[in-house]
């Protein structure tokens, strides 16, 4: 051979070769044909089994023999690819109606590999006979195989719409397909209706085809997604497992999964659920057991006592493959090219294929009936002159001479003469003449019917309808998947995610926050809390890990922090600064915090500012999904800052709020004076301030309470509720401190005291001179405990000073 070297640009060569390769794998490998719903390898497997007589009414045959036949004659690829395709045709969790029956281990829903092909046996299923029926009657075109040694069908006659019934999945170059399986009876019913009414809409078709019908059952949600997919070829639905709750003898309950979503690996699913239990991502699961046996799929999830099974199941739906999204992408090969098709287009393509198949079969049957009719007429003519024919044959030299004499003497055709000379002696009886006459009449009627089918299109459609109805009657079964119109919203209770545990949460003035177990708190003692120098505890509370902490800052913002997300730190350790949990300004400090179990409209937060603004907002407004991020709690003007945030019951309208200012003014009024506003508002005027005055304290006050006041001169004053006067909001108020000409007292700190024997703590700041007080803390606010430098009871109160 002469060597020919071509010089070509690399990009042209690669582009041309990849184009050829892409065309091949699109048309000849990964995508199914819209007419029979099969990929080439599947079609070759079925054809090879059919042509070798490996049918449903025969004995099983070794899979290795079938694989060898397919590779040797039709599909020159690896044996594993052929065997894998053959095994899939026999898996009842992959196909809605099996096309191959297999003896032996053919894999499992846990994705276990099947036994080697030398161990398994297979044959065609009864339904696959309907795909191959009439194959030998010229119903489809045949093409040469890969080595031109035999012919193979381009497509199967497919007497049922297999593409929709069994679905398909595949990936090729630039194309992919995902067609779900459907119920056979529903698909055939819709096809019959479409034959009668070709103008049916997709919505009308959906009266008969409710939606996909997966072999693994499950619940399909989202009828709008189904309709969109049926109209355009693309759509999305949610498929979730079917689950029931059972009660056990020990008082516990368990969730039992009986059906899982299509193409979900059960083994991986069980493993994932057990990992969630082991990692404590979900609380309440005791054990996960795979109890699947030959009677059916069963996964048991045993729960702890008094656990909400619905919440656990919702969490598993959201975080495991107990619920998955199924995306329709109905691409199939139509007229030699890939097309995205809706359900009506798929059925139309199938019907056009059936019209051609039945037409070709009818012509084939008509041709053979006419040929047989011709022979029968010749035999009848020969029997009518039997003696002459016998004499003529006896006088002939040989068979060929006898045939020529019959044609020349009695005007028989070659075919008739061949049939006469091959006639057996027993056929020369009177009874055979009657049989020939009966056969002649039957053939005449058959030819008439076949001609009518070919001449009348409606008669041809009736044939298709009758055959489809017979298949439906023989193979129909009930739906396995349930259709639900709407996609259910998944609501997960936080009790499922977070273990219920009572802990201590503390916050300091410097902004250090921590969560501490009761064990650490009780072991250390409340006075041994870890603090920085000059820092003090703002508040500590006994709360639940399922609660949410609301932390308010002086800049009118708040942080919503789930308690379980707070750092778990020992009581003696310092804690974590709030800036490590959320991004806040350098000069932003914590004013107060509270812990909420439920955000409802029965409670509210009252916030007040230094410049005399106040607002009340219901607790439900503070609920947010943006945890650990600063959010607006109160809109502030100019250089104003929040000095107080307190929680109250809205229904208790008799509660009183009291304000004290720097210059000694006091105003008290019911909370009914405060309008309920939104979270981003600036509030209303709380008190009418004098020039250069500002609010020092805002708090709720009861009729049995007293107020402890500290001044800049280090003086303490205790005021009874009787001194206060109820008034209206935004008034000037009454004077609590006598105005002195020299060094007048100014209030720097005040607190409402709700018990007579409560301890107090006085705190000074480095910026304040010795002997001055800028903060008062009372232990009553901290569950009858306090961390103090100096303490005293009210009975011992005098003009006390505390140095730095």
DSSP type of residue 804: -
Which region among 60-69, 223-232, 671-680, 749-758 has the lowest average model confidence (pLDDT)?
749-758
CB–CB of 31/338 below 8 Å?
Answer: yes
Pairing of strands 482-484, 219-221: parallel
- Domain ranges in the chain? 31-158, 242-321, 358-457
Which region among 11-15, 246-250, 416-420, 442-446 has the lowest average model confidence (pLDDT)?
246-250
CA trace torsion 386, 387, 390, 395 (10° rounding):
-150
Q: Which residues are catalytic?
A: 119
Mean per-residue pLDDT for 601-619?
92
| CA dihedral sign of residues 287, 290, 293, 296 | positive
Q: What is the pLDDT of residue 204?
A: 93
Exposure pattern of 328-344 as b/e (b: 16+ CB <10 Å)?
bebbbbbeeebbbbbbb
Is the pLDDT higher at 304 or at 89? 89
d(CA 212, CA 218): 11
Q: Counting every residue, how long is the chain?
A: 804
Which region among 87-96, 228-237, 719-728, 773-782 has the lowest average model confidence (pLDDT)?
773-782
d(CA 510, CA 590): 8
Mean per-residue pLDDT for 301-320?
88
d(CA 424, CA 126): 38
179 alpha-carbon distance from chain centroid: 18
d(CA 532, CA 520): 19
With both helix axes pointing from N to C terminus, report the angle between 386-395 and 399-410 in degrees, rounded to the nearest 10.
140
Give the predicted TM-score (pTM) of the model.
0.72
What are 100-103's contacts with CB under 8 Å, separation 24+?
100/45, 100/46, 100/49, 100/124, 100/125, 100/128, 101/56, 101/60, 101/125, 102/63, 103/60
Q: What is the pLDDT of residue 760?
A: 57
d(CA 336, CA 84): 26
Q: How confident is the model at residue 791 (pLDDT cuts 50, 70, 90)?
A: very low
**433: number of CA atoms within 13 Å, CB side?**
10
Residues 451-491 have pLDDT tens digits of 999 999 999 999 999 999 999 999 999 999 999 989 888 87
Q: Which of 722, 724, 658 is nearest to 695 (CA)?
A: 658
Q: How confident is the model at residue 245 (pLDDT cuts 50, 70, 90)?
A: very high
pLDDT of residue 767 exceeding 60: no
Report residue 663: phi and psi, to 5°: -90, 10
Mean per-residue pLDDT for 650-672?
88
Residues 485-516 have pLDDT tens digits of 898 888 776 666 677 788 999 998 888 998 99
In the CATH scheme, what is the homologous superfamily, with its name and number, of domain 31-158?
Topoisomerase II, domain 5 (3.90.199.10)
Q: How confident is the model at residue 625 (pLDDT cuts 50, 70, 90)?
A: confident
CB–CB of 621/546 below 8 Å?
Answer: no
Residues 541-577 have pLDDT tens digits of 889 888 889 999 999 999 998 888 888 888 888 888 8
Pairing of strands 234-240, 323-329: antiparallel
d(CA 716, CA 701): 19
Residue 11: count of CB within 10 angstroms of its CB: 8
pLDDT of residue 780 exceeding 70: no
Q: How confident is the model at residue 697 (pLDDT cuts 50, 70, 90)?
A: very high
Q: What is the pLDDT of residue 787?
A: 29
Q: What is the pLDDT of residue 43?
A: 95
Residues 211-244 have pLDDT tens digits of 999 999 999 999 999 999 999 999 999 999 999 9
Beta bridge partners of 788: none
d(CA 320, CA 269): 7
d(CA 703, CA 706): 8
Q: Do domains 31-158 and 358-457 have the same CATH topology?
A: no
Q: How confident is the model at residue 795 (pLDDT cuts 50, 70, 90)?
A: very low
Q: What is the pLDDT of residue 565?
A: 83
Q: What is the pLDDT of residue 781?
A: 35
Q: How confident is the model at residue 793 (pLDDT cuts 50, 70, 90)?
A: very low
Q: What is the pLDDT of residue 758?
A: 53
DSSP type of residue 698: E
Q: How confident is the model at residue 443 (pLDDT cuts 50, 70, 90)?
A: very high
Beta bridge partners of 327: 236
Question: Per the structure block, which two tokens stand in for 482?
Answer: 């349930």
Mean per-residue pLDDT for 729-747?
87
**Which residue has 């659920």 as its token pair?**
273
Q: Is 113 helix (H, G, I), strand (E, B) or coil?
A: coil
In this structure, whether the domain defined by 242-321 belongs to CATH 3.20.20.70 is answered with no
Q: How confident is the model at residue 447 (pLDDT cuts 50, 70, 90)?
A: very high
CA trace torsion 274, 277, 278, 283 (10° rounding):
180
Question: Per the structure block, which two tokens stand in for 405?
Answer: 């004499």
CB–CB of 192/469 below 8 Å?
Answer: yes
d(CA 713, CA 710): 8
CB–CB of 346/36 below 8 Å?
Answer: no
Identify the CATH class of 358-457.
Answer: mainly alpha
Q: How confident is the model at residue 797 (pLDDT cuts 50, 70, 90)?
A: very low
Mean per-residue pLDDT for 604-611?
93
Report residue 2: phi and psi, to 5°: -80, 135
Which region among 165-174, 177-186, 795-804 has the lowest average model confidence (pLDDT)?
795-804
- CA 41 to each of CA 33, 101, 345, 693: distance values in angstroms, whole numbers, following the listed order: 12, 17, 24, 90
pLDDT of residue 106 exceeding 90: yes
Q: What is the pLDDT of residue 802?
A: 28
Q: What is the pLDDT of residue 803?
A: 24
Mean per-residue pLDDT for 767-778?
44
């Amino acid at each position: 051979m002469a060597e020919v070297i071509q010089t070509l640009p690399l990009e042209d060569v690669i582009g041309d070769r990849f184009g050829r390769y892409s065309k091949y794998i699109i048309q000849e490998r990964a995508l199914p044909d819209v007419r029979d719903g099969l990929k080439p390898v599947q079609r070759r497997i079925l054809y090879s089994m059919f042509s070798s007589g490996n049918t449903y009414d025969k004995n099983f045959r070794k899979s290795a023999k079938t694989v060898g036949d397919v590779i040797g004659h039709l599909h020159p690829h690896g044996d594993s690819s052929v065997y894998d395709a053959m095994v899939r045709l026999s898996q009842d969790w992959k196909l809605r109606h099996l096309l191959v029956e297999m003896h032996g281990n053919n894999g499992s829903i846990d994705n276990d590999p099947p036994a080697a092909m030398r161990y398994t046996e297979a044959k065609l299923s009864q339904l696959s006979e309907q795909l191959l029926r009439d194959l030998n009657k010229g119903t489809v075109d045949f093409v040469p195989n890969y080595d031109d040694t035999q012919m193979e069908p381009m497509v199967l006659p497919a007497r049922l719409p297999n593409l929709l019934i069994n679905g398909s999945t595949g990936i090729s170059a630039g194309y992919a397909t995902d067609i779900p399986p459907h119920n056979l009876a529903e698909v055939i019913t819709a096809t019959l209706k479409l034959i009668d009414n070709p103008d049916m809409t997709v919505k009308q078709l959906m009266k008969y085809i409710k939606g996909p019908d997966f072999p693994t059952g499950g619940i399909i949600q989202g009828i709008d997604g189904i309709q969109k997919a049926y109209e355009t070829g693309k759509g999305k639905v949610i498929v979730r497992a079917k689950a029931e709750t059972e009660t056990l003898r020990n008082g516990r309950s368990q969730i039992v999964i009986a059906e899982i979503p299509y193409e979900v690996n059960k083994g991986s699913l069980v493993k994932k659920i057990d990992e969630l239990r082991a990692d404590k991502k979900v609380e309440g699961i005791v054990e996960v057991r795979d109890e699947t046996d030959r009677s059916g799929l069963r996964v048991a999830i045993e729960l702890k006592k008094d656990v909400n099974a619905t919440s656990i199941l919702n969490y598993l739906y959201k975080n495991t493959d107990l619920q998955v999204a199924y995306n329709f992408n109905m691409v199939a090969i139509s007229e030699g090219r890939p097309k995205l098709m809706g359900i009506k287009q798929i059925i139309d393509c199938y019907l056009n294929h059936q019209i051609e198949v039945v037409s070709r079969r009818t012509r084939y049957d008509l041709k053979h009936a006419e040929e047989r009719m011709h022979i029968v007429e010749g035999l009848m003519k020969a029997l009518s002159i039997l003696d002459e024919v016998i004499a003529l044959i006896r006088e002939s030299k040989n068979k060929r001479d006898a045939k020529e004499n019959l044609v020349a003497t009695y005007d028989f055709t070659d075919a008739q003469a061949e049939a006469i000379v091959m006639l057996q002696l027993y056929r020369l009886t009177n009874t055979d003449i009657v049989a020939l006459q009966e056969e002649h009449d039957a053939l005449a009627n058959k030819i008439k019917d076949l001609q009518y089918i070919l001449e009348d299109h409606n008669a041809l459609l009736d044939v298709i309808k009758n055959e489809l109805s017979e298949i439906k009657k023989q193979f129909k079964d009930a739906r396995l998947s349930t259709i639900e119109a709407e996609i259910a919203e998944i609501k997960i209770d936080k009790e499922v995610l977070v273990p219920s545990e009572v802990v201590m949460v503390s916050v300091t003035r410097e902004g250090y926050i921590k969560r501490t177990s009761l064990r650490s708190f009780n072991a250390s003692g409340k006075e041994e809390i870890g603090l920085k120098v000059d820092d003090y505890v703002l508040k500590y509370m006994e709360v639940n890990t399922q609660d949410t902490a609301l932390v308010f800052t002086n800049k009118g913002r708040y942080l919503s922090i789930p308690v379980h997300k707070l750092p778990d730190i020992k009581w003696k350790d310092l804690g974590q600064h709030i800036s490590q949990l959320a991004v806040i300004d350098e000069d932003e400090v914590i004013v107060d915090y509270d812990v909420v179990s439920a955000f409802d409209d029965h409670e509210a937060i009252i916030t007040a500012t230094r410049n005399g603004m106040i607002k009340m907002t219901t607790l439900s407004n503070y609920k947010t999904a943006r945890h650990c991020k600063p959010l607006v709690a109160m809109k502030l003007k100019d250089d104003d800052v929040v000095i107080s945030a307190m929680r109250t019951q809205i229904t208790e309208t008799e509660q009183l709020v009291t304000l004290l200012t720097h210059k000694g003014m006091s105003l008290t009024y019911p909370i009914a004076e405060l309008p309920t506003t939104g979270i981003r508002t600036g509030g209303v005027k709380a008190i009418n301030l004098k020039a250069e005055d500002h609010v020092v304290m805002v708090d709720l006050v009861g009729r049995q309470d007293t107020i402890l006041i500290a001044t800049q001169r280090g003086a303490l004053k205790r005021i009874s509720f009787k001194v206060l006067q109820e008034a209206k909001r935004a008034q000037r108020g009454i004077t609590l401190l006598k105005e002195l000409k020299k060094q007048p007292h100014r209030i720097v700190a005040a607190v409402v005291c709700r018990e007579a024997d409560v301890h107090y703590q006085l705190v000074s700041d480095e910026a304040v001179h010795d002997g001055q007080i800028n903060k008062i803390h009372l232990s009553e606010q901290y569950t009858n405990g306090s961390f103090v430098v100096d303490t005293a009871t009210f009975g011992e109160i005098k003009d006390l000073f505390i140095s730095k």
